[in-house]
Every structure is written in C-alpha cells, then in structure tokens.
Amino acid sequence: MKVVNPSLTTVYVISLVCRDLGKLTAADYIISEAMNVKKFIIFQVHNAAKHLYVWMVNTKESIAKMAEFNVDDIELAKSCMVESRYSSILAEF
C-alpha cells in the first residue's frame, strides 16, 4: 500500500515474536499482545523509528512492566480503549 500511496498510515499487528521488526519497512506502527513484548522487541521497533502499541494489558503489574519497557501506548483489555502514555490507565487501577 505504501507504494500506491506513501501517505497512508500502516499498522502491523503481530501475534508472534519476529526476529527483525526493523525489516517491516512499510509499517508506521506495530501492535503486539503484551505477553509477546520483550525488551529486544521494543529496541527493534524504536530503533526503526516506529511506535509500539501493546494490547491485552490486564493487571497493574503488566501496566507497570509496559511502562518500564517504555512502550508508546497501552490498550487495556478491561476497557478496550487506547490510552495515551499510561497516566490515566494507572489511575483506573
């Protein structure tokens, strides 16, 4: 799609851990389930100048872990709403 229209925003949803997310050159954003997010994935995504959104974050502990990992946004399984940068998410718990 980027070849047809480079201004389109492209999101890749990954369900498995990929070896080199930096090779997903057409992706502007990467979305991953929280259980798959590891520090090396965040490094790859941010090193490729992309954003990482994490979903299925269900507990205070997983919110704290994702905040420590410095992901870009978190989607709570509880509310199914994307929150910006954790502050209002932590207040819900």
The token pair at 49 is: 């100048």
Q: How confident is the model at residue 92 (pLDDT cuts 50, 70, 90)?
A: low
DSSP 46-79: HHTT-EEEEEEE-SHHHHHHHHHHT-SEEEETTT
Using a 10 angstrom Cβ sphere, with 0-12 exposed, 13-18 middle and 19 or more buried, the burial of residue 64 is: middle
Q: pLDDT tens for residues 33-88? A: 888 888 888 888 888 888 899 988 878 888 888 889 999 988 876 654 444 555 56
Of all residues in the chain, the percent with pLDDT exceeding 90 is 3
The span from the CA of 85 to the CA of 31, in Å, is 15
Give me the mean pLDDT over the 23-30 stretch. 83
pTM beyond 0.85, yes or no: no
Q: pLDDT tens for residues 5-25? A: 888 888 888 877 666 777 778
